[in-house]
Structure 1
């Protein structure tokens, strides 16, 4: 998948995890099927999940990213209206895997799809309550201007147009196009 992708099998994950959880049984560690392209994900018993970066990078940079993620997880937990993962530990690299990695609590659940949500009304109410809570949170002057996930909406115009084209017949595409246009035009000219 990635040019500089690291290999990490279940036995490697188990070896690394035993550095944090010395008495963990082999059958308590299981790969999680995921479409993710950034981390290998393993369940650790019923309470935890471990994330191992897929791409070889500077270990100090990875550690700094994990420290920042753990701080963000703790802060998010203080304002979230829904259960959310909490940081547990940043694991150490070893001779078989060269990068720091992380463990957090596992929240049982599934990906929301048109067929998996038991009550769309409850789902929308929960999501709305969470968004309202997030929008009310004190950012302490922090801003985000990254790319990829988040950042400038206008940088995603082409991708959104493509996704909406593929979603015709599944979603209210005309309404979503108008909403996207309104949101991205506000970002172009915030006044």
Structure 2
């Protein structure tokens, strides 16, 4: 069987591959695979795997989150994304997703458990940007568990959000590193107006 091919028609990507011959004629199978080339590529692999297994979809009902993200990383991330992104995603999976929820079953992981994971990450001292990356990897992986892999019916990641991060409210002048009036006068005293470091303080 051929490796298959992808093509864009309108706003959708389609995948196709040649099946076995019937009465001497080759049969080509074609289906819509998604709105992006990556989604269509993943759908193509799943369809070809189903075909190779006699039309039986591989239902990995006993997958844990650990099992699934390893599968997703090997079948999608390693084949479709750039090396630097692969490294970043592997780090997120190994360091944050797996320790927190890796032991739970994919089919039964709840939005509440995912939200607790995110809330706990917000208390670890990680930057907001780092937590946003972890959330992106988690949501993207679970989205593909729905389609094209068809391992779960709904993405629980759709119902979780970013944890709260501390802001400036309630912080002291020392916390915010705001200089005092006396410090301001000392700066002016040692910095003549002709000095380029003498700038207005508002």
TM range (shorter): under 0.3
- The alignment's TM-score, normalised by the length of structure 2, stands at 0.26
Q: Which has the higher helix share?
A: 2
* Rg (Cα) greater in structure: 2
- The alignment's TM-score, normalised by the length of structure 1, stands at 0.27
